[in-house]
């Protein structure tokens, strides 16, 4: 397979609220919107496709750009809004309906905010074909999924595409480790993922592509944000090109699996 599944969570930037910082709702939307435009410019420059997991609240706020993105990239659901604590079938169904009404085409994928547990039977009923809501690792206070499989699995006829981790130690290969540890981690992690399970599922948030250095949030979240992560991702894409790794949307990568489930 040897494909990179590059995706971006597009949501209201509510992370400051976790650290008791005041960040008005309008500012949350605008912050993510500005980062999103930078992401799109980067992908256009490299002529690469990605999957955008969008909250329905963001899509409703900026329907024009979401509809435009859907012409080139895949749009999937990131729930109704980002400040959701537990999976809710009604909200999940509504998120799908709202986004589909905006882009005028069906969506197949779902990612729950903060990679929390989902109800696969519910996702099947709603009409989702795949989910990417599991990080198969252990992070105290966040995830306890060390024994989850690193490969794609079928759950109640919904394909679960886990976030990539390194083998054995299970270091998650996603936005935070990519930015904090840099290419000395990203490149070997990609090589190991290509050996097993055969693909790399790497995701970011649109808000990361703004400068976070002045926000009073943990330094490991501020590190290498804005222009730095843009350059890091650009260099990573060029490295992947040299290695012969292609970039695909989730729907295209899963291909026939989605039509038979």
> For 81-90, what is each residue's pLDDT tens digit?
999 989 999 9
Q: Enter the pTM of the model.
A: 0.97
State mean pLDDT over 234-259.
91
pLDDT score, position 254:
95
pLDDT score, position 85:
87
State mean pLDDT over 178-193.
97
pLDDT at 261 over 60: no
State mean pLDDT over 45-52.
98
pLDDT score, position 258:
63
Computed over every residue of the chain, the mean pLDDT equals: 96
Q: pLDDT per residue over 103-158, tens digit each?
A: 999 999 999 999 999 999 999 999 999 999 999 999 998 899 999 999 999 999 99
Question: CATH number, domain at 113?
Answer: 3.20.20.370
State mean pLDDT over 211-218.
96
User: Rounded to whole angstroms, how far apart are CA atoms 176 and 184?
Assistant: 14
pLDDT score, position 259:
54
pLDDT score, position 141:
86
Per the structure, the count of domains in the chain is 1
Cα of first residue to Cα of last residue in the chain, in angstroms, is 20
**Residue-range definition of the domain harbouring residue 115:** 3-259
User: How confident is residue 74, by pLDDT bands cut at 50, 70 and 90?
Assistant: very high
State mean pLDDT over 91-96.
98
pLDDT at 256 over 70: no
pLDDT at 260 over 60: no
**Among 50-54, 83-87, 152-156, 236-240, where is mean pLDDT lowest?**
83-87
User: How confident is residue 42, by pLDDT bands cut at 50, 70 and 90?
Assistant: very high
pLDDT score, position 1:
73
The percent of residues above 90 in pLDDT, for the chain, comes to 95
């Amino acid at each position: 397979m040897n494909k990179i599944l590059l995706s971006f969570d597009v949501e209201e930037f509510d992370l400051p609220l976790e650290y008791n910082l005041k960040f008005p709702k309008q500012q949350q939307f605008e912050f993510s919107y500005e980062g999103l435009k930078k992401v799109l410019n980067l992908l256009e420059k490299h002529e690469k496709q990605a999957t955008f997991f969008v909250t329905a609240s963001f899509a409703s706020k900026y329907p024009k750009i979401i509809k435009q993105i859907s012409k080139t990239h895949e749009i999937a659901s990131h729930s109704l809004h980002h400040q959701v604590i537990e999976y809710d079938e009604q909200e999940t169904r509504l998120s799908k309906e709202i986004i589909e009404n905006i882009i005028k085409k069906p969506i197949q994928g779902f990612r729950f905010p903060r990679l929390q547990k989902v109800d696969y039977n519910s996702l099947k009923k709603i009409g989702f074909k795949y989910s990417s809501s599991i990080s198969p690792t252990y992070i105290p206070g966040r995830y306890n999924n060390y024994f989850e499989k690193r490969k794609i699995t079928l759950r109640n006829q919904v394909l679960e595409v886990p976030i990539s981790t390194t083998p054995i130690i299970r270091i998650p290969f996603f936005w935070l480790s990519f930015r904090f540890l840099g290419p000395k981690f990203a490149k070997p992690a990609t090589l190991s993922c290509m050996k097993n399970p055969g693909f790399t599922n790497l995701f970011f948030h649109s808000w990361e592509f703004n400068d976070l250095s002045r926000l009073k949030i943990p330094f490991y979240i501020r590190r290498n944000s804005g222009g730095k992560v843009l350059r890091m991702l650009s260099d990573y894409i060029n490295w992947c090109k040299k290695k012969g790794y292609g970039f695909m949307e989730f729907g295209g990568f899963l291909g026939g699996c989605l039509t038979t489930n």
